[in-house]
Amino acid sequence: MKENIIQPMIGLFVAERNASSLNELLSSWPPAEIAELIDETEDKEERLFIYESLSHDIAAHTFEYLELQYQKEILEELPYDRIPEILNEMSADDRTGLLEELPPHTVSQLLAVLSPQERTIALALLGHPENSVGRLMTPDYTAVHADWTIQQTLDYIRMHGSNSETLNVIYVIDEKGYLIDDIRVREFLLADPSLKVEDIMDHKYQSLMVDDDQEEVVAKFKNLNRVALPVTDKDGYLLGIVTVDDVLEVVEEENTEDIQKLGAVEVFDEPYMNISFALLIRKRAGWLVILFVGEMFTATAMGFFEDEIAKAVVLALFVPLIISSGGNTGSQAATLIIRALALGEITLRDWWKIMRREILAGLALGTILGFIGFCRIAFWHKFVPMDGKPAYGEHWLLVALTVSISLVGVVLWGTLSGSMLPLVLKKCKLDPATSSAPFVATLVDVTGLIIYFTIAMLIMRGTLL
């Protein structure tokens, strides 16, 4: 809405490189909206011009709302003396996220410009393993002691709270710094100011461990409906907090990883449009070559049945139909199981229940497809002659039977391998999402051919074969 009126003016100021008018126009905007404006500007020079036209304090606040790729761009292009104010102003967790993405020598240069205090914080956060809670946390929280009064606490928050990433939850620690409670700020507001903190404590708190995997954090936030959770070491010493906005980003990142794996692509760490062409090819070629080599066994398998194909060419016509049906049902089953595992809806202990279910599902789906396949061949035989003769010759019934029985077998096999493979991978401590749709399809293709030709030999022996 705002954009419709002001967009042309911004465009004009940028085109004219009129920094002072642009500065004035943007000075009343919230930093998040300025960041959005920059994110949406396509030209690199224009992006930099907008950023540099901002007043220093607005620029520093805007920086952390920018997309990572533009943060990098600006760090490269901005005068060196403006970098400290930006980095010192960023919240510690977002800064860690940025530093993670930069090459090591840039990181050490940037660490050097931080104030000693912020440098200590940055180094501590970078010391935790990637994908651990430690990388998400920020040390900017507010902690109070149990023997303070509510009024003392409120005064303390008023004086010292302005650096906190969130004031929604206040932490109570003992004199050594160990966490003993978390209290939502509303409890302080709702309580009688003359009470002591310990009077409103319930000694129940939920916390994260600094070495926990980020995936577990997502589940915890979802179950507990919290906006922030404290992070402790294994002895309960309070180290920092994690806020829910960072968790939202973790969720999106993880889902992207799962989806890319399902599509048989190595995980991209960058947006599609930003990744270099060489990397784009490398990330895709790896899996494609593996699948291709696996799929070569179809040529070997079909080689074994070359004589049968020569005798009954009609068999070859249905090869793509048969194997793709196995592949499709396999992809479906794999997708369902992988997602249910990721959401914690099923666990490895359920394998037998799942297997029983998928066997029944495979039989039902195979019967549906087999029936349609049978009708298709019968219909073509009756109404669609090839070169004036019935399409599938005098033995059309045998062909129809072979195809439909094979479909039941192949679909059953597809469903079963598609559903069990993710569980096997999980059991072997591998990522279930690796059993991508194309991976399952390749596996089912080779075995599907063997099922098809074996059934053909059984049914057609003495007639077509």
Interface of this chain with its own copies, residues 283 to 302, rule: CB under 8 A? 284-285, 287-289, 291-293, 295-296, 298-299, 302
113 vs 363, which CB is nearer to its own copies? Answer: 363
For residue 189, state whether it binds its own copies (rule: CB under 8 A). Answer: yes
Q: Rule CB under 8 A: which of 103-162 touch its own copies?
A: 154, 157-158, 161-162
Member of 144, 369, 408, 451 binding its own copies (CB under 8 A): 369
Mask 399-438, x = binds its own copies (CB under 8 A)? --------------------------------------xx
Is 249 a binder of its own copies (CB under 8 A)? Answer: yes
Token digits of residue 317: 């016509």
**Tokens (6 digits) for 440:** 């399952």
Q: What are 20's two structure tokens? A: 């002072």
- Cα 379–chain centre separation: 46
111 or 280: CB nearest its own copies: 280
Nearest approach, Cβ of 125 to its own copies (angstroms)?
18
Question: Angle between the 244-262 and 319-342 helix axes, to the nearest 10 degrees?
Answer: 160
With b for 16 or more beta-carbon neighbours within 10 A and e for fewer, the 332-350 pattern comes to bbbbbbbbbbbeeebeeee
Regarding 186 and contact with its own copies (CB under 8 A), the answer is yes
If one asks whether residue 368 binds its own copies (CB under 8 A), the answer comes out as: yes
CB of 448 to its own copies, least distance (A): 9
In contact, 416 and 354? CB cutoff 8 Å: no
* Candidates 10-18, 75-83, 118-126, 315-323; binding stretch for its own copies (CB under 8 A): 315-323
Q: Which of 41, 62, 214, 328 binds its own copies (CB under 8 A)?
A: 328
Among 25, 321, 424, 457, binds its own copies (CB under 8 A): 321
Q: Tell which one of 207, 325, 402, 417 touches its own copies (CB under 8 A).
A: 325
9, 348, 386, 458: which one binds its own copies (CB under 8 A) = 386
Q: Is 247 in the site for its own copies (CB under 8 A)?
A: yes
Task: Assess 389 for contact with its own copies (CB under 8 A).
Answer: no
DSSP notation for 247-293: HHHHHHHHHHHHHHHHTT-PPPSS-TTTS-HHHHHHHHHHHHHHHHH
Smallest distance from the beta carbon of 108 to its own copies, in angstroms?
28
- Amino acid present at 363: L
Q: Is 204 an interacting residue with respect to its own copies (CB under 8 A)?
A: yes
Nearer to its own copies, 119 or 368 (CB): 368
CB of 77 to its own copies, least distance (A): 22
Establish if 251 lies at the interface with its own copies (CB under 8 A). Answer: yes
Does 3 sit near its own copies (CB under 8 A)?
no
**Under the criterion CB under 8 A, does residue 329 sit at the interface with its own copies?**
yes
Where in 89-108 is the site for its own copies (CB under 8 A)? none
Q: Which of residues 5-64 bind its own copies (CB under 8 A)?
A: 28-30, 32, 35-36
Virtual CA dihedral for 146, 150, 153, 157, nearest 10 degrees? 140
* Of the candidate residues 222, 351, 390, 431, the single one contacting its own copies (CB under 8 A): 222
Closest contact distance (angstroms) between CB of 325 and its own copies is 6
| Burial group, residue 187, by CB count within 10 angstroms (0-12, 13-18, 19+) | middle
Residue 269 near residue 97 (C-beta atoms within 8 A):
no
| Angle, helix 277-304 to helix 437-460, in steps of 10 degrees | 10
Nearest distance in Å: CB 383, its own copies: 14
Q: How many residues bind its own copies (CB under 8 A)?
A: 119
Q: Out of 339, 355, 397, 434, name the contact with its own copies by CB under 8 A.
A: 339
Specify the residue, 239 or 336, whose C-beta has the smaller distance to its own copies: 336
Of the pair 18, 101, the CB lying nearest its own copies is at 101
Given 145, 196, 357, 395, the residue binding its own copies (CB under 8 A): 357
Q: What pairs with residue 196 in β-bridges?
A: 149
Signed CA dihedral, 329, 335, 338, 343: sign only: negative
Query: What is the C-alpha to C-alpha distance for residues 238 and 189, in angstroms, rounded to an integer?
Result: 24
Residue/partner pairs of 200-205 with CB below 8 Å, 24 or more apart: 200/150, 201/146, 201/172, 205/179, 205/180, 205/181, 205/230
CA pseudo-torsion sign 331, 336, 339, 342: negative
Distances (CA, A) of 48 to 23, 44, 75, 79, 289: 13, 6, 10, 11, 41
Which among 8-16, 80-88, 127-135, 182-190 is the span making contact with its own copies, rule CB under 8 A?
A: 182-190
Give the CA distances from residue 70 to residues 42, 48, 136, in Å, rounded to whole numbers and listed in that order: 11, 9, 20
Q: How far is the CB of 167 from its own copies (least distance, A)?
A: 4
- Contact pick of 53, 62, 132, 164 for its own copies (by CB under 8 A): 164
Burial class (CB in 10 A: 0-12, 13-18, 19+), 14: buried
Q: Residue 419 burial (CB < 10 Å; 0-12/13-18/19+)?
A: buried
Write out the DSSP string of 29-89: S-HHHHHHHHHH---HHHHHHHHHHS-HHHHHHHHTTS-HHHHHHHHHHS-GGGHHHHHHH
Q: Does 310 bind its own copies (CB under 8 A)?
A: yes
